[in-house]
Chain A
Amino acid sequence: MNGNNQKILLVEDDQNFGDVLRSYLEMHDYIVTLATDGSIGSDFLRKSKYDLCIFDVMMPKKDGFTLAKELREKTRTHLLYF
C-alpha cells in the first residue's frame, strides 16, 4: 500500500483513534488532515480538495452522514463509512 502523497481528510472525534490512524496513514505516504469534529471537517472540505475522506459516523456537532451528504452535493470524492 502506498499513498504517493495523496491527500486524505480524516474526521474522527476520538482523539486516540484519530491520532493512531493518522500516523498509520502518514506512514504509508499519505498527506493526512485530521479534524476532531464534523463542523471543523466541513470547514476543511470547503477550503481544499481531497482524494479521500474518512468520516466517523457518530460525532459531536455534525455527524458523518450529514458531512457525506454535503460532500456528495459538491464533488465526486470516494466515500468510506465506518
Chain B
Amino acid sequence: MKNLVQNLLSRNTILIVALLMSLSLLGIIGIQVYWIIFQVELNEKTLDNNVLSAMRSVAEAVEKKEEDCAKQDQALITKTYDRLVEQTLYTASAKRAIDEKINLQHLDNILRQQLLEHNINLDYNYGVFDQNFDYYAIVDNQYQVKPNTKNLVHTGIFKKLDVSKYQVKLFERHADYGTMGELRVYFPNKFKLIWSNVWKSAIASGIFTAIILFCFVYTLVVIVRQKKLSEMKNDFINNMTHEFKTPIATISLATDSIKSPTIIENKDKINRFLNIIKQENKRMLSQVEKVLQMALIEKQDFKLNLEKLSLHDIILQAVEYANLQAEQKGGVVCVDLGAIDDTIEGDQTHISNIIHNLLDNANKYSPEKPNITVSTAQTYQGVKVSIKDEGIGMTKEQKKHIFEKFYRAHTGNLHDVKGFGLGLSYVKTMVLAHRGDIQVISELGKGSTFIITFPHKILDKNNV
C-alpha cells in the first residue's frame, strides 16, 4: 500500500514538473516572440517617421523652387508692381500641369540628399502622381507619357507606388486649380532593413528554444520509460519472491514431515517426500536460472563460451524433458530432424536454454493437449530449427511485443499460466549473440511457430 502511494506521488510529481516546465517554456517562447515583434514594429515606426519627414522636406523644397521660378518669371515680365498682373501670372503658373512645375534633376537630387540625411540607406523607387490627369507624371527621374484614358489598372512599379504608405502631397496650395500632385516612395528592400538587426537574435533564440524543447521531451520520455521499467522490475521481484516461497515452504514442510515419528518408519512415504524435495529443488534451480538470464540480458556484454556443438543432441535432450511435461497434459512432442549438417558454433548452456524456453512456451501456451513438433532443416545460412505448437497463438499486436522484456500477452486476473515475460527476450538476445535469426509465425487460436536459424560458424567474433 505504501508502495502504491509512493508511486502515485512520484507520478504526480513528474506530471507537475512536466506541466510547470511546459508552461515556462511556453512563457519564454511567448516573451521572445513578443520582443521580436516589438523590435520590428519599432524599427518600422522609426523608418516611417524618417522617410515621411524626408519626403516632407523634399516637397517643401520642390514647392519653394517652383515659387522662386514663378517669381523670377514675373520679375522678368513686369518691372512694376501690379497686383492684377501678379495675380494673373500666379494663376497661370499654378495652372500648369505638375510635370511642368517640377525640375526633374532637382527632385532627384533633393530626394536622394534628404533620404541620406535621414539615415535611410536603401534602394528606392519614387513617383510623382498627377491627381488631375490621374497618372504618374514622373517615375524614377523620368517623365512619363500621359495616357489617353483615365483609370488605367496599375501594375508593376505603379501598383507598388499606389499602395506605398509613403505619400506626401505636392503643391497643396494649388488645390484650387486642380493641379495637385503626390510624391510617393517605395522601398523594395524595406523588409530586409526592418529585420536587419532582429533576424540574427530571432534565429538564435529559435534554435536555443528548439534545443531546450528537444532536451525536455527527450528527458521526459526517458523518465517515463525508466519508470515503467522499474515498475516492471518491481513486479518481477514480487513475482519472483512469491515463486520462491512455494518451493521453500514445500521443502520445509516435507522435511518436517519426514522427521515426525509416524512417517520415519514408512519407507514409501519418505521416498515420496524425498522425491518432492528433489523436484522442488530443481524448480528453484530453474528459477535461479531465470534470474541469471535476466541479469544477462541486462548486462548485454556477456561472454559466450564458444565450442562446436551438435544441435540435434541438444534438441533431443530438451525434447526429452519437454515430453515429460507435455505428457502430463496428455500431449506429445514430435521430432523431425532433417538437417544434414547439424554442427554449430555456440555456447552449450545458452543454446540449450533457447530450445528449453521455446519448448516451455509451446507447452505452456497450449491449453488442451500440447501437440508440438520440432524440426530442423538445412538452409543457405545454416541450420533452421522450427518449433511448432497448436496452442492459443497470438494476435499481430502481441507478436510485435513478445520479445520485449517483461512483456506478457496472456495475462489476466487468473494466474493460469505462470511466467515473467523474460523467456523470449532472453532467447532473442542469445540468438542474436550467436549471429542467428529468429522469426515467429502465429495465428490467434491456431498456434505458433518459432523459427530460429543458427550459422554453422560465427565469422566475426567481435563482442561474442
Q: What residues on B are CB-neighbors of A23 within 8 Å?
A: 257, 263, 269, 273
Q: Is the CB of A20 within 8 A of B415?
A: no
Q: What residues on B are CB-neighbors of A21 within 8 Å?
A: 253
**Cβ of B61 under 8 Å from chain A:** no
**Cβ of B77 under 8 Å from chain A:** no
Cα-based distance from A21 to B262 in the complex (angstroms) = 15
Q: Is the CB of B260 within 8 A of A58?
A: no
Cα-based distance from A81 to B411 in the complex (angstroms) = 23
Q: Is the CB of B414 within 8 A of A17?
A: no
Q: What residues on A are CB-neighbors of B257 within 8 Å?
A: 20, 23-24, 27
**How far is the CB of B260 from the nearest CB of chain A, in Å?**
6
**Cβ of A48 under 8 Å from chain B:** no
**How far is the CB of B71 from the nearest CB of chain A, in Å?**
114
Kindly count the residue-residue contacts between A and B in the assembled complex, taking CB atoms under 8 Å apart.
44
Which B residue sits closest to A61, measured CB to CB? B414
**Cβ of A60 under 8 Å from chain B:** yes
**Cβ of A59 under 8 Å from chain B:** yes
Which A residue sits closest to B269, measured CB to CB? A23
Cα-based distance from A81 to B257 in the complex (angstroms) = 22
Which B residue sits closest to A17, measured CB to CB? B250
Within 8 A of B (CB), among A9-37: 14, 16-17, 19-21, 23-24, 27
Cα-based distance from A16 to B269 in the complex (angstroms) = 13
The answer, among A24, A59, A60, for a CB contact under 8 Å with B253, is A24
Cα-based distance from A61 to B416 in the complex (angstroms) = 7
Q: What residues on A are CB-neighbors of B415 within 8 Å?
A: 58-60, 63
**Cβ of B249 under 8 Å from chain A:** yes
Cα-based distance from A8 to B262 in the complex (angstroms) = 21
Given contacts A16-B276, A17-B246, contact A27 B254 (CB under 8 A): no
Q: Is the CB of A20 within 8 A of B273?
A: yes
Cα-based distance from A16 to B280 in the complex (angstroms) = 8
Within 8 A of A (CB), among B267-282: 269, 272-273, 276, 279-280
Chain B CB within 10 A, most for which of A19, A20, A62, A63: A20
Cα-based distance from A60 to B364 in the complex (angstroms) = 13
Given contacts A23-B269, A27-B257, A58-B242, contact A16 B250 (CB under 8 A): yes
B contacts with A: majority SS? helix
Q: Is the CB of A27 within 8 A of B246?
A: no
Instruction: Flag A48-82 by CB within 8 Å of B: 1 or 0 each.
Output: 00000000001111110000000000000000000
**How far is the CB of A60 from the nearest CB of chain B, in Å?**
4
Cα-based distance from A23 to B279 in the complex (angstroms) = 17
Within 8 A of A (CB), among B213-257: 242, 246-247, 249-250, 253-254, 256-257
Q: Is the CB of B253 within 8 A of A27?
A: no
Cα-based distance from A21 to B257 in the complex (angstroms) = 9
**How far is the CB of A31 from the nearest CB of chain B, in Å?**
16
Cα-based distance from A60 to B367 in the complex (angstroms) = 12
The answer, among B263, B279, B413, for a CB contact under 8 Å with A27, is B263
Given A24-B257, A27-B257, A58-B415, 11 further pairs, Cβ under 8 A: A14-B250, A16-B247, A16-B276, A16-B279, A23-B269, A24-B253, A27-B262, A59-B415, A60-B415, A60-B416, A61-B416
Q: Would you mind naming 28 contact pairs between A and B with Cβ atoms under 8 Å apart? A: A16-B250, A16-B276, A16-B279, A17-B249, A17-B250, A17-B253, A19-B276, A20-B250, A20-B257, A20-B273, A20-B276, A21-B253, A23-B263, A23-B269, A23-B273, A24-B253, A24-B257, A27-B260, A27-B263, A58-B242, A59-B414, A60-B414, A60-B415, A61-B414, A61-B416, A63-B413, A63-B414, A63-B415
> Which residues from chain A sit less than 8 Å from chain B, CB to CB?
14, 16-17, 19-21, 23-24, 27, 58-63
Nearest first, the 8 A-B pairs at minimum CB distance are A60-B416, A17-B250, A58-B415, A20-B253, A16-B276, A20-B254, A24-B257, A16-B250
> Which residues from chain B sit less than 8 Å from chain A, CB to CB?
242, 246-247, 249-250, 253-254, 256-257, 260, 262-263, 269, 272-273, 276, 279-280, 413-416
